[in-house]
Structure 1
């Protein structure tokens, strides 16, 4: 049972005192917010009000109300990205944003003055992606390559790695392709990768793309709510970020940003009445009858976050606990935390926002099936979740920290995993 949220009184302290303001079951130990997000009870209450308003008079809602409210919501998201609301559109998740941009490759080729994906010398143009690309975006890149006729360049990335080395590898891949008579058309990049859950110097990568006339397509699924964003400074060509993961907006909601010169060349995955409309946002606003109320909970989510102290206060507190929790879990496992290399940018704990990665105390040869069983068993028996994955020849767990977490949550997570592993080796 959630507590009634009264925003006129001071918010409780961060940690378990905030659990009642979410619909978390008492036995749930939520250490994996990065996968699906968590919606405050207050935001859900506001969404229910919107649903009632829609059902009271559907014609009035769709004809007179919803478009205005979409504009109001985008106007509140825009300052968090430092862009104009006119350059944003709603999509239901970041993967939808990736699809909208990448599957618009034929029209984007035309926007760049190319008649096809094939160069005059007969070599295919290339799409570049890092090996750490999100699992849901990787096949989108491949699908576009297969259907439009691109080559795919995979840049191998293994953490720990310095920012300089990462940027250097991408630049070398672009130069290598040029030496072979090819050209990189677009690069699929991340602001924060899913696994490992680390901050990426995407501003430097976007600058590199501009240098070589490569379209930068940035997956910011985990970005808004975790790190400060300034798209006017980093200048990606395209950027999409989930609002339901770290910003408390109801699921599923994300925004897509496109530079003005490309807005008329990208289209939603569902083509409908808005096609060829002068405003690219109009095309995304209406792709058929749907429940758009998650998008409209942006004002409530931001109101709730201001009640907690605002963006910077939330980010700093969650980062501090995340670093502490990661080291505690590593201590219990007798392993280590994944930290950044180098002397600036994502060096050391600069790699960490609200997610951290800890090596698991298991041999590298442990099977995927075993790790899937571990994940399912502790979720079922202890209601604990973590993101298990293999990277650079080792098994890791990604933890996430939110405002309702305390250090004890991560102690229980680590001890639960150790207990399960001990039971299987007995």
Structure 2
């Protein structure tokens, strides 16, 4: 599978989770759309693009199981959450309940909003190691009170790689009349996603991570009852349009000035690649490799797993707790000397070596990482 990707063969790439990796056939489709745009920009943007975007949305909607009119493309989940954030009518004292496992950019987004609105962002502590899904859920809801109006939760944590029980939390939030916002950046193409069954009010995810699409391809799903409450982040021609489409929601959000939509138009090619290459099985093989090696790396680095080593909590990523006072130096040494691309993540004062795998990875890649870590432990003070 490595030959199907554009990754540098001299690098052991154990960091699919950060920005993904695009296979050659999908990237070629991406370049095809860029070329079509440049051949005749006016005709492409004004005449062809609306229908092509509709086809891409329909393909995506079928893949993530929602109505094509309830979802639109944007560059990244950060943009999606900022769009939602700026339309929330929270009052001073209202609370947004989250976890202390959220992505740093999202924490910053909500902190910004709360400074402006007087609302409160609650990062509910999740104990490590996680013992069970039931205890995780119970601990999360300890942060709830009568002021809680919004639930914001990642389905897979970027720093800790933990899969959160979002379905159970969304179900209870609906019973309590709370707005539910799910950050699923790591979910599409990684673990099963059925938005209709999950039933959030808002859901954002990427295509450029585990769906293997070109960089800058993501989506925002908004439940129909909330669509007329969400203002466009950028006001453009779709606002009070002279030629309105069937959906004001899409008019407001889909076209916001001149943009290269080629990454979005590659959606069908990405889904086709996943299907034709049996990606469900290849994903399962990567997940099993994570399960097989997580405890090994914890033992090697003299730490303990942060969750039960089961598919309930781990997908194609795992985060190994490490003891280091020089996380940046450690990451740079792994890359510069050993040619291993792997992140050192930080959350709540703790550091983790996050391993993420895809079909281009083999056991040899993990063996190379293990040998490098052993040598670093023997020859440096970077891992204590």
- State the TM bucket, normalised to the shorter chain: over 0.9
Partners of 2:162 and 2:58 lie apart in 1 by 29
Moved more, 383-392 or 69-78: 383-392
Q: 2:65 aligns with which of 62, 82, 85?
A: 82
- The offset of 1:271, in angstroms, is 1.9
Kept in 2, the 8 Å contact 1:158–1:392? The answer is: no
Partners of 1:273 and 1:326 lie apart in 2 by 51
Tell me what 2:298 maps to: 330
SS of residue paired to 1:251 = coil
Paired residues in the alignment total 376
Q: Deviations over 1:261-317 (max 9, x none)?
A: 00111134222122256421222211110111111111111111112114x323312
Check if 1:38 corresponds to 2:2.
no
TM-score normalised per structure 1 = 0.84
Tell me what 2:283 maps to: 315
Tell me what 1:306 maps to: 275
**Structure 1 segments of 4+ aligned residues over 3 angstroms from their partners:** 330-338, 390-395
Tell me what 2:39 maps to: 56
Tell me what 1:383 maps to: 339
Kept in 2, the 8 Å contact 1:33–1:245? The answer is: yes
Tell me what 2:187 maps to: 223
1:6-405 alignment to 2 at 5 Å?
18-106=1-89, 117-118=91-92, 124-161=93-130, 162-174=132-144, 177-178=145-146, 183-276=147-240, 278-310=247-279, 312-340=280-308, 348-360=310-322, 362=323, 366-367=324-325, 370-390=326-346, 394-405=350-361
Where structure 1 has 5 or more consecutive residues not aligned to the other structure, the ranges are: 1-17, 110-116, 119-123, 341-346
User: CA RMSD for the aligned pairs?
Assistant: 1.9
Tell me what 1:6 maps to: none
Residues 64 and 332 (structure 1 numbering): CA distance in 2 closer, same or farther, change over 3 Å? same
Kept in 1, the 8 Å contact 2:22–2:213? The answer is: yes
SS of residue paired to 2:340 = coil
Check if 1:408 corresponds to 2:372.
no
Residues 167 and 87 (structure 1 numbering): CA distance in 2 closer, same or farther, change over 3 Å? same
- The offset of 1:330, in angstroms, is 3.4
Partners of 1:317 and 1:282 lie apart in 2 by 41
Kept in 2, the 8 Å contact 1:322–1:355? The answer is: yes
- The offset of 1:252, in angstroms, is 0.8
SS of residue paired to 1:350 = coil
Partners of 1:104 and 1:149 lie apart in 2 by 15
TM-score normalised per structure 2 = 0.92
- The offset of 1:192, in angstroms, is 0.7
